[in-house]
Structure 1
């Protein structure tokens, strides 16, 4: 994990967070069980071998979840209000992805617009999008 600042008071346009994660077979299997998305493309090697991908690939929404993981590592408490996603490429099982979220606009108060992107281990964009979030300061107890 990497983020551009550890100071909530200076958080603004240009600040970012990055989070990397390998996508394991166990992730895909667990996601299929939890989401009930049992698309054969994700679960059956013989079926997937005859598709345009030539092998099993991870669920797009599983990979998109790394954006939420990155946002959880931004300063304070982040609440998602909206997210757009454009899936631009497959993610191979056993591949590694990195979610990158950068503040591109302060919308006033504690609301921000972010550019969100997920890249694979070759730095190819596999998801591109935008999020609007609330970022609240984490108060010490």
Structure 2
């Protein structure tokens, strides 16, 4: 499981490799969700708190919130407001998902954070945690996922957070954001919390976001 330092031989791309690249690009452009394309995008999806959620490798393309690009059968979400112009203090949004081993490994690859604490069970057993844990920044990504489910288009301006408890791989987590204060020019201050299945907080913090109305041409 530990990555070895090995030299990679560089080869001149063959014509068949070029054809594969063209084929892959065509598939992406045409919107086909073939397995080859899904595998290429999986790491990016995981970094955003997205996962295929089942063994079929299929991502559902009918999100329950208009501003969100993808949804998944493993995810659950709630919100108390459906229009950006109606956001007020007290409004909340939640987003829940299970952090899988696949999520952790994909995040390590896309982020470059290959700390053995997250990837090597034998190594991690000798640490204070007694085993592998989820990257803290992957856990905090669920806050961003919850913010994406606010109505309109949400833009992060700042985020402060405290990491309170480690997260075991396979844990189901829930991120909740609550509007605390309406600021000038469509800006809002929110409390941000991530809890585990036992209701124990693993992250607490505060964010400031800008919320624009959705573009008029979006159906």
Instruction: State how 1:103-114 maps to structure 2 within 5 Å.
Output: 103-114=179-190
Provide structure 1 residue ranges, at least 5 long, that are not aligned to the other structure. none
CA distance in 2, matches of 1:122, 1:44: 26
- Is the aligned partner of 1:140 residue 2:201? no
Provide structure 2 residue ranges, at least 5 long, that are not aligned to the other structure. 1-76
Following TM superposition, where does structure 1 have runs of at least 4 consecutive aligned residues deviating by more than 6 angstroms?
none
Give 1:140 deviation, angstroms.
Answer: 2.8
Q: Cα deviation per residue 1:102-135 (whole Å; 9 max; x = unaligned)?
A: 0101111200000000001111000000000001
Q: Tell me the equivalent position of 1:74.
A: 150
CA distance in 2, matches of 1:96, 1:87: 17
CA distance in 2, matches of 1:7, 1:58: 34
Q: Tell whether the 8 Å contact from 2:94 to 2:174 is kept in structure 1 after alignment.
A: yes
CA distance in 2, matches of 1:9, 1:32: 38
From 108, 111, 115, give the equivalent of 1:35: 111
Q: Tell me the equivalent position of 2:94.
A: 18
Give 1:8 deviation, angstroms.
Answer: 2.6
Q: Tell whether the 8 Å contact from 2:191 to 2:205 is kept in structure 1 after alignment.
A: yes
CA distance in 2, matches of 1:131, 1:9: 19
Equivalent residues, number: 141
Q: Cα deviation per residue 1:36-59 (whole Å; 9 max; x = unaligned)?
A: 111111000011111111110000
CA RMSD across the alignment: 0.8
Give the match's secondary structure for 2:205. strand
Instruction: State how 1:60-71 maps to structure 2 within 5 Å.
Output: 60-71=136-147
Q: Tell me the equivalent position of 2:207.
A: 131
CA distance in 1, matches of 2:141, 2:84: 24
- Is the aligned partner of 1:47 residue 2:123? yes
- Higher RCO structure (Cα 8 Å, ≥6 apart): 1
Hey, which of these two has a bigger chunk of strand by percent?
Answer: 1
- Give the greater-gyration-radius structure (CA): 2
Q: Tell me the equivalent position of 1:83.
A: 159
- The TM-score with structure 1 as length reference comes to 0.97
